[in-house]
Every structure is written in C-alpha cells, then in structure tokens.
Amino acid sequence: MKILVLNSGSSSIKFKFFEMQKNRVLASGLIEKIGEEKGNIRIDFGESIEESVEKSLYIPDHKAGFDLMEQTLRTLKIIDDFNTLDGVGHRVVHGGESFNIPVVIDEEVKREVEMLIPLAPLHNPANLLGINIAMKLASNVKQVAVFDTAFHQSMPQHAYLYALPYELYEQENIRRYGFHGTSHHFVAKATALFLKRPLNQLNLITLHLGNGASAAAIQKGKSIDTSMGMTPLEGLM
C-alpha cells in the first residue's frame, strides 16, 4: 500500500510518500515560495532518504506545484501516476467541533472545512486548495482529512470553555480548540509503546516543541487539556 501525505500551506506544499507494507518513506519533499519570483523544490529519496534532488524555478500556483511534484516523482521512478496511489492523506489545521477523527473527504467535508475558515483564515483555505487539486489529480484515489484539532475534542467543557458570556461560545464558536493534535496523539502512542503499557492505562503530559510549541494533558489516551486555545497564541507560558 502506497500513501501520499500532504500538508498544503499558503505558499508551500510539504509531502511524504510512504510504502506501508515495508514501513518506510520512499520520498519526502518541500515545494516552497509558490507564487514568488523564484520558487524551490527539494525531494529526498532512496533507501534511507540519503539522495536528494533540488532545483529553483518559478512556480506560479499550487496546481503548478502539484504538477511539478508528480513530474519529479515520475522522473525519479518513484511513482508512475497519482491515480496508482492507495490513498492520500491531508493535514487540515482546523476541524472545529465538526471533526474528532480522520474522515474520508467528500463534498460535505469540503463544505465544512470551508465554513471553518474564519477560525483558521491562514491555514484552512490553503488546506482546502490542496485537497481540491489533489482530488482532481488523483480522482480515483480515496482521500482522507486529518485535523490538528480533532484529538483535543475529548476535552471536558470546563477545560475548553473560557470565562466569557456563554452566548459567545454558542454564537461565535469562541472556545479552546487546541492544536498539534496529531503530534500529541503520536507522542502518546509512542510513549505507551516504549513503556510497554496500554495507552488507556496511562496518564501523560506530552510536549510538541518546534517553531510552535504546546503541551497536552492526556488521561487514558484522551486529551483532557492543552495549552493552546482558540488560536495557537496561547502558548506554554
């Protein structure tokens, strides 16, 4: 089974191409500076991702970026056609209260992601653009959305509500959502594996430390609190 995982940003496309049976990455890449005078593409590939190809050129839009990705992967003989994939996974930043698990993408899912744009105006439009382009390029392939906020949908009400008039939550969706959920969930599962204990028997604090940073409290495998709120601006402090 071969899976392409995409993170479509406002001016970039990050991707990894997995061969699931052998649990290995066939290729990993970044297309950046889309729409600028000179863009860039870098793809790492090979048995241990030790080989790479990189070039600079004008990349007018995301469609051109996806075409460039496919052409380069074909040239490297990594893939023949996007339609030969078994699946495409999309990282979507904001799922609001609508999504608490990954979902197969259909028109209803796309409409919901679009409706959530006011909650993530920098990210959801780019995520949705990547979804639309990928669904055209790989029209026969099942595509799945994985949401950064989904893992934190298990937080109890006292953790996600702010000390504000309740109608602001009801009418404007103002609440704590939390982010980096895919990372916190992965770290929790990896910790359980390392400790050789079932995740549903552990209480954990997980940390996502990078350009953005957050902490989460995880009780028996479920997120019960996190340091990020309605936006990522609520940080570790």
Name residues whose C-beta falls within 8 Å of residue 202's C-beta, 6 or more positions apart in sequence: 188, 191, 192, 195, 218, 220, 221
Contact 217, 236 (CB under 8 A): no
Catalytic residue among 61, 67, 86, 148: 148
Q: Across the beta sheet with 213-219, what order do the strands follow?
A: 203-209, 213-219, 222-226
| Angle in degrees, CA 135, 139, 141, rounded to 5 | 90
Distance CA 116, CA 98 (A): 9
81 is catalytic: no
Pairing of strands 87-92, 2-8: parallel
Catalytic residues: 148
